[in-house]
Amino acid sequence: MKKNWLKLTALALMAVLFALSGCPSGGGGDDEGSPGQAAAPVASPSAGNYDLPQYVTLSSATSGAEIWYTTDGSVPAKGSGTKYSGPIFIGETTTLKAIAAGDGMTASGVLTAAYTIASPQAAAPTANPPAGTYYTEQSVTLTTTTSGAEIWYTTGDSEPAEGTGTKYTAPISLTGQTTIKINAIAVKPGMTDSAKLTASYTIITPVHADDNPSIKNTFGVTQTGTAGVSAAFNAVHAYLQNRTAAELVSDNLIRLGDYIDLEGGLTVEPLPTEGIANAGAVNAANAPITGGDNRGTLLRLIVVGINSFNAQGSYGGNGNGTNAHLVFQFQNIPANYFMTHSYNHVSYKGSNMQAYLVGAGGPEAVTGNFYTGLIAAGVPAGVIYAPKRYVSKGIYETGADLIEDKLWLPTVREMCGEGLYSNTTYETIQNQARLEYYVNDALRIKYGPASTLARNRSYFTASHNYVASTHSFASVGYNGRSTAGTLNLSTGCVPAFCVR
pLDDT digits 0-9 by tens, 379-435 = 999 999 888 887 777 666 677 788 888 998 887 777 766 655 545 555 555 556 778
- Do 109 and 151 fall within a single domain? no
What's 447's DSSP letter?
G
pLDDT at residue number 188: 94
- Do 327 and 421 fall within a single domain? yes
Cβ-based neighbour number of residue 113 at 10 Å: 21
Of 34-38, 53-57, 496-500, give the lowest mean pLDDT range. Answer: 34-38
Domain that holds residue 75: 42-117
Domain boundary among 203, 236, 269: 203
- Do 495 and 369 fall within a single domain? yes
pLDDT at residue number 25: 34
Dihedral of the alpha carbons of 431, 433, 437, 441, in degrees to the nearest 10: 40
- Do 383 and 439 fall within a single domain? yes
pLDDT at residue number 427: 53
Residues 160-207 have pLDDT tens digits of: 999 999 999 999 999 888 899 999 999 999 888 999 999 999 998 899
- Do 244 and 131 fall within a single domain? no
Domain boundary among 97, 117, 137: 117
Residues 319-335 have pLDDT tens digits of: 676 789 999 998 766 55
Domain annotation covers residue 288: yes
The CA–CA distances, whole Å, from 373 to 130, 185, 381, 443 equal 32, 46, 11, 29
Which positions ≥6 away from 217 have C-beta within 8 Å?
Answer: 209
Residue-level length of the chain: 500
pLDDT at residue number 466: 53
- Do 230 and 316 fall within a single domain? yes
DSSP 375-430: HHTT--GGGEE---EEEE--TT--SEEEE--SSB---HHHHHHHHH----SS--S-
Domain annotation covers residue 15: no
- Do 480 and 359 fall within a single domain? yes
- Do 82 and 224 fall within a single domain? no
Contacts made by residues 78-87, CB under 8 angstroms, sequence distance 24+: 78/107, 84/41, 84/58, 87/55, 87/56, 87/57
Domain annotation covers residue 37: no
Summary mean pLDDT of the chain: 75
Domain annotation covers residue 22: no
Domain boundary among 143, 177, 203: 203
C-alpha to C-alpha distance for 182 and 174, rounded to whole angstroms: 11
Domain count, the chain: 3
Domain annotation covers residue 73: yes
- Do 199 and 331 fall within a single domain? no
Of 179-183, 217-221, 354-358, 365-369, give the lowest mean pLDDT range. Answer: 365-369
- Do 340 and 196 fall within a single domain? no
Residues 451-465 have pLDDT tens digits of: 433 444 556 677 766
The CA–CA distances, whole Å, from 204 to 82, 183, 232, 315 equal 66, 21, 13, 33
- Do 249 and 153 fall within a single domain? no
- Do 327 and 290 fall within a single domain? yes
Q: What is the pTM of this model?
A: 0.65
Domain annotation covers residue 354: yes
Domain annotation covers residue 248: yes
Query: What is the 3-state secondary structure of 35-98?
Result: CCECCCCEEECCCEEECCCEEEEEECCCCCCEEEEECCCCCCECCECEECCCCEEECCCEEEEE
DSSP SS3 for 231: helix
Domain annotation covers residue 179: yes
b/e map of 193-207 (b: 16 or more CB within 10 Å)? bbebbebebebbebe
